[in-house]
Amino acid sequence: MSPVRRLALSGAAALALLAVLLLLAPNSVRGQAANTIELLPGEYLWLPELSPRGPVLVLVSLPEQRAYVYRNGVRIGVATVSTGKPGFETPTGVFTILQKKREHYSNLYDDAPMPFMQRLTWGGVAMHAGRVPGYPASHGCVRLPYEFSEKLFAVTERGMTVVIVDEPNRAPMLADPALFPTASSQAPRPVSTPVGQLSTPAMPEPGYAWAPERAPPGALTVVVSTRDREIVVVREGVEIGRGPVQATGDLPVGTRAYVLLDGINLSAAPLLPDRPRRRWLRVHGEAGDDDPARYAGVLGVAPGFARAVYDAMSPGASLVITDEPVRAEPAITVMESEGQAVQVDSRSDDP
């Protein structure tokens, strides 16, 4: 049995304790980035029992050539990866898993196998099992160690968030973006409404579109562009909502991404007072530059639309606030949609 397998599966107390310390150590122990976790090419750590339930997030760091897996905000895995080589760079941004196939073959590179394929763009970028030599060597995809890729495939779902950054990994932090928060002094309502009970709400506000029936059940991706003053809602790769955003004052600069966790927060908030406040995890964006109250003061969405989006959310939904446009190709990818795409990528499947 390989050292990787022993570390991932062995019940030995010493190895388990070491893995827990490496996965859970705070930044003050690990350093600014998590690259003090020493792994040889093709190796990984996998301890899903640290957080048995909750939404899953994958964060890929290009300079580290590492993939980090979080479940309900707790790191449960880390693996070496191989991303795009020069001329075929892996795009950065916030993605959702659009498609999953246990057995897949490239339609561009001699039917090269892409086991446990998880598609991130309709243009061919995906995560899949492949050769991990310790440096960028792919045609744009994120290659994962085979056994790690199989384990990851088993815990992910379509619509789940994947963040690819061109910087060392910074551990996600609890945050409250305050666009769809709220609290109530009354008994909390369910965190999400079953899809079968959802109905198309009245949209008295002009300029808003809401058509949740266009897409099957799944996690939402909500993108707010301060550049375009627009909000776009995507589910299962299909656009189901769009509308204007009112913006005043000093707007947030750059791109921030959040993932909705299980559970609620009962502290007071100004929006939708009949809904409980949600728990969010910031997964992309500089620490210290988030001011939830400021967001609520400078970004506004019509109440009817906000209520519709809130009720359609469930743990695992992602929220992206960016100063990139959603009407043209941005510097980073913030979503892919079968409706109005944020970014068009002409490449075919890349191994």
Q: How many Cα atoms sit within 13 Å of 319 on the Cβ side?
A: 24
Cβ proximity of 121 and 336 under 8 Å: yes
Pairing outcome for strands 277-284 and 255-265: antiparallel
Place of tokens 């093709």: 42
Cβ proximity of 47 and 65 under 8 Å: no
Q: State the pLDDT at residue 166.
A: 84
The reply to whether 173-322 shares the fold of 3-165 is yes
Q: State the pLDDT at residue 258.
A: 84
Which residue type is seen at 211?
A
Q: State the pLDDT at residue 271.
A: 61
Q: State the pLDDT at residue 268.
A: 47
CA neighbor of 177 nearest in space, from 74, 97, 284, 53: 284
- The residues spanned by each domain of the chain are 3-165, 173-322
The 10s digit of each residue's pLDDT in 179-231 is: 664 333 343 433 444 444 444 444 547 789 999 999 888 778 888 888 888 99
Q: State the pLDDT at residue 217.
A: 83
If phi > 0 it is left, if psi is from -120 to 50 it is alpha, else beta; for residue 204 that is alpha
Q: State the pLDDT at residue 163.
A: 85
| CATH T-level topology, domain 173-322 | L,D-transpeptidase catalytic domain-like (2.40.440)
Distant-in-sequence, close-in-space partners of 81: CB < 8 Å, separation ≥ 6? 60, 65, 66, 67, 132, 142, 143, 144
Rounded CA-CA distance 62/140 in Å is: 11
Q: State the pLDDT at residue 32.
A: 35
Rounded CA-CA distance 212/200 in Å is: 7
Which residues in the chain come in under a pLDDT of 50?
A: 1-18, 25-35, 181-202, 204, 268, 328-331, 337-348
Q: What is the largest CA-CA distance in the chain?
A: 63
Q: State the pLDDT at residue 79.
A: 96
Q: Which pTM value belongs to this model? A: 0.69
Q: Which CATH class is domain 3-165?
A: mainly beta
Which residues of the chain form beta strands (DSSP E)? 44-46, 56-61, 66-71, 74-80, 93-96, 99-101, 117-119, 126-129, 142-144, 161-165, 173-175, 209-210, 220-225, 230-235, 238-244, 246-247, 255-265, 277-284, 299-300, 318-322
Rounded CA-CA distance 58/258 in Å is: 12
Q: State the pLDDT at residue 170.
A: 63
The 10s digit of each residue's pLDDT in 8-39 is: 433 444 444 445 555 554 433 233 344 457 89
